[in-house]
Amino acid sequence: MSLSHYMYRPKRRLQARTGSTASSYDVRTTITTAQDTFQSGVWSKAPALQRSAVLSTLARIVQENVDAFAELESKQTGRTIREMKAQLSRLPEWL
């Protein structure tokens, strides 16, 4: 059984997107796949320098796209773009 999830823009109360809600099977499959991948060592046993390089690349991508992410988050949450930029611009530091 597939259920739909509707996402609204809080400011105008307009439907922004429709997405599918995950079934119990989808959730179990995703968790099992994640656990299997972790146990395989692809990430968990990778050298620290390699993991650091991946996270640094992710941080750079987030930083380069902070305006687009801020706009998207603003539409989904109703917060101002300025507020979302301020929050999201800190994310690369955490990565």
Residue ranges per structural domain of the chain: 1-44, 46-95
Collapsing DSSP to helix, strand or coil, 11 comes out as coil
Whether residue 29 contacts residue 23, with contact meaning beta carbons closer than 8 Å, is answered with no
- Average pLDDT, stretch 10-14? 70
Collapsing DSSP to helix, strand or coil, 81 comes out as helix
Whether residue 88 contacts residue 94, with contact meaning beta carbons closer than 8 Å, is answered with no
In sequence order, the β-bridge partners of residue 31 are none
Q: Over 70: is that where the pLDDT of 71 sits?
A: yes
CB atoms within 10 A of CB 70: 21
pLDDT of res. 2: 62
Q: Which residue has the higher pLDDT, 77 or 67?
A: 67
pLDDT of res. 21: 82
